[in-house]
Chains A and B, each alone.
Chain A
């Protein structure tokens, strides 16, 4: 089954403790991206990657890192999480960025930073 898989689904951590949220897709997609969803703010892009070893900042990249060493994986790294990073995070992928390449989303990771 074609899918985007995120882990974990739920995560509670404390301020400053480094964490990684994994994302993997099995559709051989070149493009991958991370979004965060917050009440009243909708979904905002954090980082994206056009292909292996090619990443770039989205609208809200502060406090996050990403890497794209393999085509299928695109982990989101929070080196020193803070409470304002408490949010619902979504990974997404697509073949490209063209008009016929809709984004496919994972089921989300709900992160709480205390």
Chain B
């Protein structure tokens, strides 16, 4: 079945460092891809999305490009801030599976001043 694999955390960075969180997927068909962020004690918030190959999703300085040839959707940010500390989830969705979001395990990011 479809699946999403993320790099394991926790990831600890200093403020202003470059961030990459790797995400690869296995899916039949053409899924939509998402990154969600979960701040401590809160629900999941949509960070960005991409709906077809070569699409780039971006929001709040974060970017991810839908790479069909490598089945990847890596999350990047050029300069992280302490306020970016959270758990990041990569996910895919296909309309023919009851609208289910299939999540990766999540990657915890901790940014130190």
Contact = CB atoms under 8 A, between A and B. Distances in A.
Interface string A29-57: 00101010000101101001010000010
Interface of A: 4, 31, 33, 35, 40, 42-43, 45, 48, 50, 56, 58-59, 90, 92, 94, 96-108
Contacts of B42: 107-108
Interface in B83-113: 89, 93, 95, 98-101, 103-106
Contacts of B103: 42-43
Contacts, number: 65
Contact of A99 (B36, B51, B89): B51
Contacts of B100: 33, 45, 48, 58-59
Contact of B98 (A97, A100, A103): A97
A29 B44 CA distance: 17
B46 A40 contact: no
Contact of A105 (B32, B44, B52, B98): B44
Interface of B: 32, 34, 36, 42-46, 49, 51-52, 89, 93, 95, 98-101, 103-106
B23 to A, nearest CB: 13
Contacts of A92: 44, 101
B43 A108 contact: yes
A90 B41 CA distance: 12
A49 B99 CA distance: 9
A48 B43 contact: no
Nearest to A109: B43
Contact of A94 (B45, B99, B104): B99
A92 B99 CA distance: 11
A9 to B, nearest CB: 9
B93 A97 contact: yes
B11 to A, nearest CB: 17
B46 A97 contact: no
B98 A104 contact: no
